[in-house]
Structure 1
């Protein structure tokens, strides 16, 4: 598999990212209909030509071929014009509370986009026949997701009338817009299938060419490390709160996403993380006073059920 260190460009930043492969590569070549819009230099940096970077096109699909004496391999990528929002607001399970809709639904995702949130967080579990569904809890309407086949889960209706979304449906919906990141939480399997779930999740993200949108979080440290193994340049943050910034940096994770109580107890971790160039995120922060406290600490992101309030405080 081939990797890019980044998947976005802008008129002022035509370098998209650097190409990497787990296998030795003699030469990278761009192919496909958009090949003439891009270049690859001797440092294996993929760049878009200036005139193309100024185009109104929101993205380009390209194919990269890695050539070596024993053969070649190809990967398809989608690179985006960088329009992603830079604020601290991550809507927890989408924006659902104020609009009285269902959390982790396509509507809550689109609400977060309309509000102007940096990210919309969501959770995934795997059915008994290995189809991935979006839901926070391991069960919905009394139905255990891990013990139920996809055909049965497809009949489940959310409280807002939507069908229980699959990961594929959620990603496809999220990829219709270019402003809000998709913060994908890989839930820990109660049946010991966390690695299998992780493998399928990362494969789906790559299959749909959704890398530019997706960042990963998980409570399982093994899952975080597995994502890093599968995609060495993916953005991965740890949720459980029992690892120091030094430990996260040693394992090459991107940062922490810890409960507010953990960070209030270990306030120094915020500065330590910044010194190690790790991202900092607090969850789930809902009161005005707590939101303001974390804003004063200058954390990178705040995950909240009250994105409207946090957006008001960040104006």
Structure 2
């Protein structure tokens, strides 16, 4: 190969890399677009409002009760009752701040069918041990498959055991780890498709953005709020997805 051809090849590769990196990050509404009017975190209303403003996805959290009912809620406790240590009957009439009853996962997924352009970013909360994590993963994946939503559900978890099990059960699904302590190479070696870390992790490990891009590992950053932080990560090369409580604000920044 002549020197000129080598130069052309290198320049072409650099152009492709820059073009790939220049794509705008996707917007995920953290616990849905709950800051909108009549919204509440992890509510059916916040799911609907995420679709209304054309977010890429809505993130939500899933716990299992002791009698194996999957519910959508962030905190470990609702109305002073620990979700994972009680039966569904004890919490089924608990209400969210907007007046909705605590949604079950099946209700949430059925509602999600109304919004075919919205990805459902499903976080499985860690349970008491790895065995329980795996049981919950199986129940979740089975429910997603039964609902016909497998192509639209992406999985995340702070439990690495859960992430590995999700990859085993749903090998075609996107699965990202939230823990912040794996490099992109370690995540890829574990069979995961992405890393989904707090923004401070990437501020301290900027080299991971280049490593992830080269390995084809998707990068999601959370929870990015406030104008200055949103602008910083919206313009940062190597960020594929931004999860925020202010999806409408981020969209306006990206439009400019």
2:143 matched to which residue of 1? 204
Where 2:154 maps in the other structure, the secondary structure is: strand
Q: Which residue of 2 aligns with 1:90?
A: 28
> Which residue of structure 1 aligns with residue 166 of structure 2?
227
Q: Secondary structure at the match of 1:203?
A: helix
Instruction: Report how far residue 99 of structure 1 moved.
Output: 2.3
Pick the structure with more helix per residue.
2
From 194, 197, 219, give the equivalent of 2:133: 194
Q: Counterparts in 2 of 1:1-315, with a 5 A limit?
A: 88-99=26-37, 101-190=39-128, 193-298=132-237, 299-315=239-255
- C-alpha displacement of 1:191: 6.0
In the TM superposition, what is the alpha-carbon distance from 1:290 to its structure 2 partner? 1.2
Higher strand proportion (structure 1 or 2): 1
Tell me the TM-score normalized by structure 1: 0.71
TM-score (norm 2): 0.87
**Could you tell me whether the CA contact under 8 Å between 1:104 and 1:134 is conserved in 2?**
yes
- The offset of 1:227, in angstroms, is 0.4
Higher relative contact order (CA 8 A, sep 6+): 2
Query: Secondary structure of the residue that 2:250 maps to in structure 1?
Result: helix
Task: Give the secondary structure class of the aligned counterpart of 1:314.
Answer: helix
- Structure 1 window deviating more from structure 2 (292-301 vs 163-172): it is 292-301
Q: Find runs of 4+ consecutive structure 1 residues off by over 4 angstroms.
A: none
Unaligned runs of 5+ in 2: 1-23
Residues 38 and 45 of structure 2 are in contact (CA less than 8 Å); yes or no, is this contact kept in structure 1? Answer: no
> How far, CA to CA, are the matches of 1:275 and 1:264 in structure 2?
19
